[in-house]
Every structure is written in structure tokens, then in C-alpha cells.
């Protein structure tokens, strides 16, 4: 390594940086202009008293209150509207629980005339669907409803709420 080349490069770099600093000074605003702008900005954006800062303190609380009220409405109002607008039979079907899809959702949606059939399902079949089943009750059956296509192919399964495994 040649130290002479390094010192020459450093000297050249120092000279270029000094030239850059000099040029940057011409771009700075004069001190009196900067002070006048800061004074005018402060005058234009004066605080409006304690109520000028009230938004800082009340906005988060208002946001929390609004989100809690919307969450409560989403939890309680739609289910009450559904239950109140349907007959008792439809309300019982609503409370029966969700269907477990046995076929693709596209195939279920395209089925023109599906029907619901009550049946007994062995608990061992539920284990194959990923539902936990106690080994001592694996040979028992559960009451269930199956959504069946017009050709008799099972599309979805819904367990009875009274018999459903917990």
C-alpha cells in the first residue's frame, strides 16, 4: 500500500468537501429571514387556549368508546334481528350449529336441489374429520343432519346441538 497515494486522495477529498461546504452556505437563508419566518409561523399557529388542545385528550377516548359501541352492536343486534324475524322453527335451525363441508363450497353452491336428511353418524367418522373423540365412546353414534345432493351424495354435515361433542 502506498501511503503517498492515500494522502493525496485524502487531500483532494478535503478540498472537494471544503468547496461543497462553501457552496452550501450560499443556499442557506440569511439569519434575519429565518427569524422572521419563525415568528410569523408562531403567530399564525397560536394555541387556542385549553380547548385548542382538548382534541389531543378526548379523541382517543372517543375512538375507544365508538369502537366498543360498534362492537357491541355487531355482537348483539344482528343475531337478535335474525331471531326476531324468523319463526320458531327457523330459530331452532339457526341455533343448531354450522354445517361442516364434506365437498367443496363451489360444488355445494352449484347444487340445484339439496335436501336435509336426519341420520346417525358414527363418532369414528368425526375423528376422520378432525373432531376430537374420546376413545371410550368411539363406537357410539350421534344424531346429525346431512345436506345431500339430488343424486344422494353427502355435501355437508351438521351435528345435533344436544349430542355435539364438547
Domain coordinates in residue numbering, the chain: 3-43, 54-95, 97-159
10 Å Cβ neighbour count for 3? 7
Determine contact, residues 117/148, Cβ cutoff 8 Å: yes
3-class DSSP assignment, residue 63? helix
Q: Which of 1-10, 15-24, 44-53 shows the lowest per-residue confidence on average (mean pLDDT)? A: 44-53
Return the DSSP state at 50.
G
CA-closest candidate to residue 166, choices 123, 132, 142, 139: 132
Report the residue count for the chain.
Answer: 166
Q: Which of 66-70, 101-105, 144-148 shows the lowest per-residue confidence on average (mean pLDDT)? A: 66-70
Determine contact, residues 144/157, Cβ cutoff 8 Å: yes
10 Å Cβ neighbour count for 160? 14
pLDDT digits (tens, 9 = 90+) for 91-145: 455 456 788 888 888 888 888 888 988 888 888 887 777 778 888 888 888 888 8
pTM higher than 0.75 for the full model?
A: no
Amino acid at each position: 500500500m502506498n501511503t503517498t497515494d492515500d494522502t493525496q486522495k485524502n487531500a483532494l477529498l478535503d478540498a472537494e468537501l471544503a468547496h461543497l461546504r462553501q457552496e452550501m452556505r450560499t443556499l442557506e437563508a440569511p439569519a434575519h429571514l429565518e427569524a422572521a419566518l419563525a415568528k410569523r409561523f408562531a403567530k399564525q399557529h397560536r394555541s387556542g387556549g385549553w380547548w385548542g388542545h382538548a382534541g389531543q385528550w378526548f379523541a382517543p377516548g372517543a375512538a375507544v368508546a365508538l369502537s366498543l359501541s360498534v362492537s357491541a352492536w355487531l355482537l348483539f343486534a344482528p343475531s337478535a334481528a335474525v331471531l326476531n324475524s324468523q319463526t320458531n322453527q327457523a330459530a331452532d335451525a339457526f341455533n343448531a350449529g354450522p354445517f361442516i363441508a364434506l365437498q367443496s363450497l363451489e360444488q355445494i353452491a352449484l347444487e340445484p336441489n339439496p335436501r336435509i336428511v336426519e341420520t346417525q353418524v358414527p363418532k369414528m367418522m368425526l375423528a376422520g374429520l378432525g373432531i376430537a373423540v374420546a376413545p371410550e365412546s368411539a363406537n357410539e353414534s350421534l344424531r346429525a343432519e346431512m345436506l345431500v345432493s339430488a343424486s344422494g351424495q353427502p355435501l355437508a354435515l351438521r351435528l345435533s346441538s344436544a349430542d355435539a361433542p364438547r
